[in-house]
Amino acid sequence: MNPLLKYQLHTIGFDGKLDELQAVALLDAVNKAYNKADEDRIFWEKMLNASSKGTTKPTQKHYPDHALTRLSKINKRYEKLFPNKKPYYFFYTKDADGKMLSVSASVMGMLGFSGDEFIRQHGLLLTQGLYCDIDTKMLLPKYGYNMPYEISVFTHKGEERTLELTEYPCFNDSDEFIGVEGIVRDITEHNKVNHKISNMLYHDALTGISNRLHLEVLMEKLLLDNYHKRNRFAVLFLDLDHFKHINDTLGHDVGDILLQRIAGSIQRMLEDNDIFARIGGDEFVIVMKNIDEIDLTVKLHELMDLIRQPWEVNDYELNVSVSIGVALYPEDGKTIVDLMKNADIAMYKSKSIGRNSFTFFEEHFNTYVHTEMNLIQDMSSAIDNGEFLFHFQPKVSLEGNKMVAAEALLRWQHPKLGLIYPDKFIDLAESTGLILKLGRWVIDEACRSIAWFNEINPQKQLRLSINISIRQFQHEDMYEIIKTSIEKYGIDARQLSIEITESIMMENNKEMAHKLNKIKSLNVGISLDDFGTGYSTLSYLDKLSIDELKIDKAFIDAIPEDGNKNILLDTIIAMGKTLNMTVVAEGVEHEYQRKYLEDKKCDIYQGYLFAKPVALLEYLEYFKAKCKEEEG
């Protein structure tokens, strides 16, 4: 890698965090540009040096007369050396006082001026780097020995061009500084390429806003500017809630458009001097400056309201929310690392309390994050160590109030933390990919439990339902996994039912319908869970052999105590019955809810009103007792 490029990337803290193919292409292009610039600069320096050494130095201090003669010889040599470079280069000389003496004829091809016209128009611009230190033979004060500098000029036609000037000091036989020779290169197009490269390096390709690298550069500058001023600013870490769900169900093209629109809307509401960057798939960072002059909580509410609005994408109306963590400078950190880390921790706290909220960082949040990281580390070995288990909740018929099946609910018996519920670890399993390993365990354990129950209680076989993650359908051959477990334990496939959410059908209707119907061919039951809370489409229902429709608890909670109608719930029950599905209500906690469901001809309910989820042995004893009651 070019040494200068290497040094500059190190200086700005670039750690190579780009997509692998992008990074390779980008760095290769940048490296080639730097190497080409080095080659050009060395070439021209050698040419200037050769011209200086190859020409008799003036012996008098009346430099202009000798300079004109010298320039004539130099121009002729340049004409021979660079016959194809005339439109891109021209040469000049200046005396020891910085006065322009002559310009090569090639300036006409580049800028449309004659030499004399150029001197009158732009001569004063070419006075930088004039002074020479005799001891070091360096042009001072700014540029050092033979260092190029840039100027902007307008051509004869009024077009703006950027020129790079490289100058070389000239001395007489007494080593007295008598003037400067210079070469001018048109770098307008070169700069345009560099600008494109800079955009690739510093900006997010999808949304056009700053990327993580640019964010760090801007924040570093902000911290340096505030080192003495101590102006307060806020770092906001934003994570869209359940965005992976949109990508998984509707496809990445829909997700990308949504990200672009959200980013554009956020950018329009920010102040010009605020910093806005995308640092991950659905993660953004905003740095709001001068927060003492604004009501930060008002801004946060405006930001959340903006994101919560309905978004129309490819005929879908999408509703999203955001979890935000806020870290303040200098209270919550004085470095980029500390501010970003603490804003991220505060964001996770927002997620843990139900999402769709913002949280200001507090020091004790670190404990929460460490706990979560420890759970991730423990989870893989927990599967192998048999720390996961099922609790069983009865499913009860509304007609006769009899137990007809059970749902297996996952629990984690952590050796140090005790019993952990799914809301604490399922999202972590999804985000780390451990859900695939855990999902295979769930299927195998369900079939094993059914077989064990059948052996212990052959008179009443267990019908058991389990929850399946959408990621399992995307990345696993669910048909083979289920078929293998059924055959392994020798159970009747009709005893097993898988519960899916309607979001599974949104990514690729045909593919998912094929996978589910293939599983259905095993005689495994298919249950549609949380119905009514996902995307509002029923087009997939006639493509699947769904046995059971489960109504989400939110609809059950909305049943009025006074017995008045709940039209939406009534419609769902009627629709399920019309489609010949068994209708199940979950989360039933009160007798008036059970009575309402019974009146509306709902088939099955489950919830605390009848029984809480219990371990297998306890469920078995409970089941036996209920069977005796029913027989009595």
Domain holding 89: CATH number?
Answer: 3.30.450.20
Burial of 165 (0-12, 13-18, 19+ CB in 10 A): buried
- State the pLDDT at residue 103: 87
What's 209's DSSP letter?
S
Domain's final residue, options 329, 363, 397: 363
| List of residues 6+ apart from 441 with CB closer than 8 A | 383, 388
Q: Give domain status of residue 492, yes or no.
A: yes
CA distance 283 to 277: 9
Digit-coded pLDDT (tens) for 118-175: 888 887 777 655 566 666 666 665 544 456 778 888 998 999 999 988 888 888 878 7
Q: In this predicted structure, what is the pLDDT of residue 226?
A: 81
pTM over 0.85: no
For residue 372, what pLDDT is reported? Answer: 76
* Residue ranges, the chain, pLDDT below 50: 7, 11-12, 50-64, 67, 71, 143-145, 535-536
Residue that terminates a domain, selected from 363, 388, 407: 363
**Overall size of the chain counted in residues:** 632
- Residue 32 is encoded by which pair of tokens? 């080639």
Whether residue 427 is found in the same domain as residue 549: yes
Q: Are residues 485 and 520 in the same domain?
A: yes
606 in Cβ contact with 614 (< 8 Å): no
Q: What digits encode the pLDDT tens for the residues 7-31?
A: 455 544 555 555 555 565 566 666 6
Contact status, residue 506 vs residue 535, Cβ threshold 8 Å: yes
Q: Under 8 Å CB-to-CB from 21, ≥6 apart: which residues?
A: none
Which of 343, 363, 383 is the last residue before a domain boundary? 363
Say if residue 184 is in the same domain as residue 228. Answer: no
Position 446, amino acid: A
Q: Could you list the residue range(s) of the whole structural domain that residue 143 is in? A: 3-194
Total domains present in the chain: 3
Q: Two tokens at 548?
A: 């059971």
Q: Which long-range contacts (CB under 8 A, 24 or more apart) does 168-176 make?
A: 168/45, 168/48, 168/49, 168/52, 169/132, 169/137, 169/138, 169/139, 170/52, 170/57, 170/93, 171/57, 171/137, 172/57, 172/58, 172/59, 172/60, 172/61, 173/57, 173/59, 175/134, 176/61, 176/134
Residue 57: per-residue pLDDT: 37
Say if residue 162 is exposed, middle or buried (CB neighbours under 10 Å; 0-12, 13-18, 19+): middle
d(CA 427, CA 243): 12
Q: What does residue 529 show for φ and ψ, rounded to 5 degrees?
A: -90, 155
Task: Write the pLDDT tens digit of every residue in 509-562.
Answer: 677 788 888 999 999 999 988 776 654 456 666 667 789 999 989 899 999 888
